[in-house]
Chain A
């Protein structure tokens, strides 16, 4: 090939390349939030949780604007009449603005609200997720003792529990949850310490066993469902210390009627923090707090997501004092949140480590693995 033809070819290629570069479209990058950062340093003016305080209901079901962050967290496992496994998560987060807006406008807000709605379909192994934000103004989002909402995703208090209605395009939930056990106050009467500093703590209570009936829509098909749900309520201002990288949280409904919640706070080296804790609820509703020394949680199997992050999806959890040696396995692997916060939250099976028999169901939340 002659040099001039090569040069001509190169010139044409360069021009075409330059022109195609001009036609590129810039896709917006979606910013992600590190939850640990949001839950870390809060300005001084926010109240801190520094010791046990009596909680009063229904008022404490509503929001606590003096504290930096707060959430209302439902998870649950269901089955349809045809035996199809389904899991759901609905979470309402409130993050107070460092300074409430002061403009002369009804849009002036004191907080950002975020809601996460997810549905896991065990049969098709599809994980539906939908995220929304709203400002704490004009009634777009909020939480009163009897109603928690972000736009049209609404939880309404009923005589016996809560009703959830949420519609997210390809899926929708319409659930009636009945509280069958007394509220469980985590830590010391709801004072849940997460670190050594004063204020490294949250107010934390749970409704661990909510008998649920309702219907779930996937695409155009409504399915009648039945199962158990779990509610966690938590608020605080500086709950996580800087030394923590994330946490592994488990909420398990055992077939023998017991409910087990443990969370393993994790430092940057991946080791469990001594502030990890949990609670065991007996079938009669009595509960006891589990401290770090009372249980252990060890990852068994890891799953690598398409972006290359590794997630420990299978665990061995033992509570020697309660004669529990459990293995948890996800119903399916990809129950990964890919919105502004990246975490794994999904339905799991609980297996007796000794016999290999399935003895319960639950939910696992893994955070801090994709940062």
Chain B
């Protein structure tokens, strides 16, 4: 074997701990990036995979602008000459326990090869029963059901018992979906005569262009993917930003570890140079090491990330269903190209992060035997300030340029770079302050020693400050947002109790019956309907007290109310107003069964219920335009809020449930909390990687400062004393990082709340400064710092001081 390779290999063998740290650092960073990237794909492709599973790739979808279409349109198209294989689909959401499911009802005989490979008479079980469903093995396992027992689901506001008649091999598009026969589903959902859309194979485009009636439109797979992408843009951007930060922190680890490995070999490199090894040969060996480390670490990271993605998917599954009405796949679907892209990015950035170290290694003079001079960064304070200022200016401009989310994220990222650049100097200044305060004390001296290793510690300090700042900033945003949502719900819920039905429906008759109860002063009602453009239309019947529930952001409340009640105007939510840039007086077009309608916007109100936006319309006008007498829920305004109503409920001809205002509020906040579980998880991951960075930097420091530690031992510091010395140093570093994290987190919180949220979701969040994250972060950082010091301290105290003292 080449002696240089031997040199490299033997060295890595002697330092398995550092090797492991480097691998953990890069693997963890890559794992988070991979996990989030796979998750993003799931969010975008979720809608499409089902179509792929049923119709084949790149299928087309025939839709009616009103949202649903008559089955007679299908029959007409399917029996025309030259008709392609069209598949009628009726879609509905369903729940089994806490699992969100989607019923996809099709004619199992329509596709050429049968649904997902079941063909012709083999689909007879689906048609041969009245309640048969087919699902994938994965879904069956997740729901913890079997083919023997009935599957209880809630769909279309009622409970139903279904029978699993066949189980299909896992395909991503089938996850969380129940395939039903159209006839059975139309009865179950009470949607006779109706289809949600018609699927057509990609090659049918020309025929459809010739044959499709004018009122129908053709939506391509790309358009569907775009709309899913738009729908989830906010969530995906946030996830991406978090994953890139995790990766950046992972790079700090690689940088720290490789620098450390180099420090240890300074003497050897000096000797190699003395015996004639050229800088080019050395560079090749060291770059080769970095390549193998990052390459292998990235491979590990890809594998870990794939496993992580499934765990993250569990966290987003219910919020995605609750917030976006989308059923996500049960497992992620990695592609070779995605893996390759992430691997290459990791290797290239990993190598780039160590170019500085490589350059300094090349500067080691032949025969140079010292190993305690500094290596690594060469930027002066002045240069740092210049670069930071430039980045801050560009970042600020980017942040406020245009209204696009990517600009805001880029701006935030640049500002985080500024924070990363300034954190080491600021941290050192803090440590200097401490040293001045306690200069006679041992802790002051321990901290003083840190300040001499600024270059070594800079990456760790930057990584830790950023990670802590990010976690705290995220936490502040989430808590602030939670308070805002809580206030909003509190204000919105004016009724004393809300009535929903699980079987039967709320129609005029039922509303009349409830209104006649002596306990009830007045009744409000709401009916939601999804419009074809993805907006939600909500029809409200609002008695006078309900109007206080709106927080008006634009428009005159009194005139708006009059216009709304007279059916001459619409109310819209803030996200819709922002997304479509609608002001008061703007005319809104929307499709109804009676054709397109136009009404002016008369007011904009605060709403955190849907980032797609909601259009509110007067209930009577809605019923007149849509011919839909049903309501989803009733709000009951009671004379005595504690009046017992159970008997009256029992007397109703439907299965009705009353939910109190408090229960609704609790449910809303529970959904909110589920939505942000993923953010907490990612913040935690970033924090953990930052700790790895801290440990590796301290190890490097321990070795680099070996002589100093040996001197301390020679001067009489015991092993226990040295242990305390090192732990003091790590704790002090963590404390400095935590203090720096306070302004960083405030900046992140402000940017997320005031810039990112409105752009990602369309709503503004009143800025509050919750202190809990800071109060929690400080002790946690100190404890983590102390813990992170244990291993380096043990490693340092284990060294025999005598050879170190003799080394010069």
Q: Which residues of A approach B to under 8 Å, CB–CB?
A: 2, 4, 8, 11-12, 15-16, 18-20, 22-23, 26, 28-33, 38, 95, 97-99, 101-109, 112-114, 131-135, 137-140, 149, 151-152, 165, 167, 339-340
Contacts and interface: CB of A to CB of B under 8 A. Distances in A.
Interface in B90-120: 107, 109-110, 112-114, 116-120
Interface string B155-193: 000000000000001110000000001111011000011
Between B117, B127, B130, the greatest number of chain A beta carbons within 10 A of the residue's beta carbon is seen for B127
A32 to B, nearest CB: 8
Contacts of A99: 128
A15 B296 CA distance: 9
Contacts of A18: 303
What does DSSP make chain A's interface, helix, strand, loop or mixed? Answer: loop
Contact of B183 (A31, A112, A131, A137): A137
A13 B357 CA distance: 30
B75 interface: yes
Given A106-B192, A107-B182, A152-B82, A135 B109 contact: yes
Contact of A106 (B13, B71, B181, B303): B71
A167 to B, nearest CB: 5
Nearest to B192: A105
Nearest to A98: B128
Contact of B80 (A16, A97, A134, A152): A152
A112 B121 CA distance: 7
B82 A167 contact: yes
A28 B120 contact: no
Interface of B: 1, 9, 13, 53, 71, 75, 78-83, 85, 107, 109-110, 112-114, 116-122, 124, 127-128, 130, 169-171, 181-184, 186-187, 192-193, 296, 299-300, 302-303, 306, 334-336, 339
Residue from B1, B122, B182, B300 whose CB has the most chain A CB atoms within 10 Å: B182
Contact of B110 (A12, A95, A134): A134
Contacts, number: 142
A28 B113 contact: yes
A237 B598 CA distance: 60
A110 to B, nearest CB: 10
Contacts of A20: 336
17 contacts: A11-B296, A19-B302, A26-B169, A28-B53, A28-B113, A30-B114, A33-B120, A97-B127, A106-B183, A107-B181, A112-B120, A112-B127, A131-B112, A131-B120, A132-B112, A135-B107, A149-B79
A262 B122 CA distance: 31
A57 to B, nearest CB: 26
A16 B411 CA distance: 37
A138 B75 contact: yes
A94 B306 CA distance: 48
A15 B83 CA distance: 48
Contact of A138 (B71, B121, B184): B71
A289 B296 CA distance: 78
Contact of A15 (B13, B121, B303): B303
B50 to A, nearest CB: 14
Contacts of A114: 120-121
A-B residue pairs, 4 tightest by C-beta: A28-B117, A107-B183, A133-B109, A105-B186
Nearest to B9: A4
B109 A26 contact: no
A124 to B, nearest CB: 22
A29 B169 contact: yes
Given A19-B306, A31-B120, 5 more contacts: A12-B299, A106-B193, A108-B183, A137-B183, A149-B79
Contacts of A29: 117, 169
A78 to B, nearest CB: 22
Contacts of B170: 26
A133 B123 CA distance: 11
A288 B122 CA distance: 39
A135 B75 CA distance: 12
Contacts of B121: 33, 38, 95, 112, 114, 340
Nearest to B113: A30
B360 to A, nearest CB: 28
A30 B119 contact: yes
Contacts of B171: 26, 28
A30 B123 CA distance: 12
A99 B110 CA distance: 20
Contact of A139 (B79, B81, B114, B303): B79
A340 B120 CA distance: 7
Contacts of B78: 140, 151-152
B335 A103 contact: no
B336 A23 contact: yes
Contact of B187 (A103, A113, A152): A103
Contact of B303 (A19, A101, A109): A19
A31 B130 contact: no
Contacts of B80: 152
Contacts of A95: 121
B79 A340 contact: no
A101 B306 contact: no
A16 B120 contact: no
Contact of B81 (A16, A152, A340): A152
Nearest to A5: B9
Contacts of B183: 101, 103, 105-109, 137
Given A103-B130, A105-B192, A133 B71 contact: no
A22 B307 CA distance: 10
A209 to B, nearest CB: 29
Nearest to A11: B296
Contact of A31 (B107, B110, B118): B118
A105 B193 CA distance: 7
Contacts of A132: 85, 112
Nearest to B53: A28
Contacts of B9: 4
Nearest to B13: A4
